[in-house]
Amino acid sequence: MDPVKVIEIKKSVFEDNDKDACLLRKELKDKGVYLLNLMSSPGSGKTTTLIRVINLLRDKIGIAVMEADIDSDVDAIKIKEATGIQSIQLHTGGMCHLDAEMTRQGLDNVDLKGLDLVVLENVGNLVCPAEFDTGACRNAMILSVPEGHDKPLKYPLMFSVCDLVIVNKIDVLPYFDFDLEKCTEYVHMRNPRAQVIPICAKTGEGVEKVAEWLLTEVKNWKNK
């Protein structure tokens, strides 16, 4: 038998994805399209929040949504019916996250003409999606009140990669011992630049602040 030959590689498995993601971001910049990666646990209110925000913004800017949360068309159809905008379902094949390559494939199926903003509703999961750069211009996440204010301590990576933390379901605050002040403090321990916006997607309370944040982001992306 041949003697064993060792070939040194010394390479992070995330390296290629990080490169793909940077390339995708650059292409989006050239096209003037802002991609937001929206993450959360399952059921925190991504789809409900998106519908509210889109209905506030759709007359001002061109928007499309890519749904990756689960492998059924339910959310994509719900968004299309509730807002009338372009909305497609990505099939993740049971994968617990999206990477830049999958995001690019998704974007290939979106008609980018006249679009300023594409929102990616990522797979519902607080661990995996945070590790993979999708190529989005920014990451945002939704934490819902029933999940507890200590989530930033338990999932530090997720909160360190997000520039916007939406605290949803504030209508149920009276029934939970969720401390908004503590939550904000914990979020800032992970990312001092992060904005925290409390909302109730069910009634629409506070959603206009999210819409404003997004509008400013999209404008800055196009101008710089």
Ligand X SMILES: Nc1nc2c(ncn2[C@@H]2O[C@H](COP(=O)(O)OP(=O)(O)O)[C@@H](O)[C@H]2O)c(=O)[nH]1
Of 43, 148, 156, 206, the residue at the interface with ligand X (CB under 6 A) is: 43
**Beta carbons of 187 and 218 less than 8 angstroms apart:** no
Of 33, 35, 46, 141, the residue at the interface with ligand X (CB under 6 A) is: 46
User: Is there binding between residue 171 and ligand X (CB under 6 A)?
Assistant: yes
**How far, in Å, CA of 179 to CA of 148, rounded?**
8
- 32 contact choice in another protein, Mg ion, ligand X, none (CB below 5 to 8 Å, kind-dependent): none
Q: Which stretch binds ligand X (CB under 6 A): 82-90, 106-114, 130-138, 165-173?
A: 165-173
Residues 6+ apart with CB under 8 A from 212: none
Q: 107 or 143: whose CB is closer to ligand X?
A: 143
**How far, in Å, CA of 85 to CA of 118, rounded?**
11
Q: 55 or 125: whose CB is closer to another protein?
A: 125
**How far, in Å, CA of 28 to CA of 141, rounded?**
21
Q: How far is the CB of 155 from another protein (least distance, A)?
A: 10
How many residues are listed for the chain in this entry? 224
**What's the CA angle centered on 153, arms 152 and 155, to 5 degrees?**
65
Please give the structure tokens belonging to residue 195. Answer: 């904005």
Q: How far is the CB of 2 from Zn ion (least distance, A)?
A: 37
Tell me which residues touch another protein (CB under 8 A): 4-14, 16-17, 95-97, 99, 125, 127-128, 131-132, 153, 156, 189
**DSSP assignment letter at 4:** P
User: Is there binding between residue 129 and ligand X (CB under 6 A)?
Assistant: no
**How far, in Å, CA of 117 to CA of 218, rounded?**
7
Residues 6+ apart with CB under 8 A from 189: 152
- 55 contact choice in another protein, Zn ion, ligand X, none (CB below 5 to 8 Å, kind-dependent): none
Q: How far is the CB of 124 from another protein (least distance, A)?
A: 12
Binding site for Zn ion (CB under 5 A): 96, 128
Binding site for ligand X (CB under 6 A): 40, 42-48, 69, 124, 168-169, 171-172, 200-202
